[in-house]
Amino acid sequence: MSRLSASSAPSAVKQSKMSRQVYINGKLVPAEQATVSVFDHGLLYGDGVFEGLRAYNGKVFKLDEHVRRLFESALAIRLSVPMSQPEMAKAIDDTVAANGIKDGYIRAVITRGAGTLGLDPNRCSDPQIIIIADSISLYPKEFYENGLELITSSVIRNHPAALSPRIKSLNYLNNILAKIEGLKAGCVEALMLNHKGEVAECTGDNIFLVKKGKLYTPPLDAGILEGVTRNAVLDLASEAGIQSSESAITKHDVYVADECFLTGTAAEIIPVVKVDDRVIGSGKPGPMTKELTEAFHTLVRA
């Protein structure tokens, strides 16, 4: 497969200064020319996987971890990726460079490819590799300064025996339905429970609580995605001497927490000050949330 070389990345920008460059199967093309077949099972059935990544100062944060998770998701759904992990990492770096992205968001997608209107993945061919790099602002600045308000959605996370939450598949309808419910209630995020009634995660972010100086977050078997930012925060907490626990969390634990915050690649770290109309702690972003946020910002720009 042909790949864009680092030396050719700037020329791609010169060829189309008015358009974002999208990587598709080894080539960078203007965004308006980036297309896939209407018979692609990624479109027809959500049959594919993806990763969201962030670039800081032109460097992709935790690139190897994201690429590894992308390939693990593909392996879990028996999707053969027509390139190696180092080649994928290079393609992501090249796409970021070609678009002149310093601080931005990257979406890497692998679809099953075009097939028939039936479900049979064996009748699909030519998996599509798509990489998009652009700017992003997930939440307004005031939400980071003052905190979010959440509701608990009536939509629970998919049962892990049906679809593992550790697979970042293209089928996000479960999360979208919960997101719609949150937006209808005037909240930009919503808390999701698992099939046991325990706290899992939000529609696009992992959740952390602080209680009596200790950090808590749901374990992987609670039906959550193993977030790259989540793991980075756990590492930062350890380095700061903050005791943390990955253990089952209930809504009661959320309501009586001293602090609450969410983590995600796009969201980074964002405080939560109210859940289901209950004020969390002082009703303002707490000291541990601020400490970990500062440490995270130092880490990503190191």
Residues taking part in catalysis:
168
Q: Which two tokens stand for residue 44?
A: 């027809």
Can you tell me the distance from the alpha carbon of 110 to that of 113, in angstroms, rounded to the nearest whole number? Answer: 8
Residue 262 contacts residue 205 (beta carbons within 8 Å): yes
Can you tell me the distance from the alpha carbon of 42 to that of 138, in angstroms, rounded to the nearest whole number? Answer: 24
Residue 19 contacts residue 32 (beta carbons within 8 Å): yes
Q: Which two tokens stand for residue 175?
A: 């999360």
Residue 38 contacts residue 110 (beta carbons within 8 Å): no
Per-residue 3-state assignment (H helix, E strand, C coil) for 156-193: CCCCCCCCCCCCCECCCHHHHHHHHHHHHCCCCEEEEE
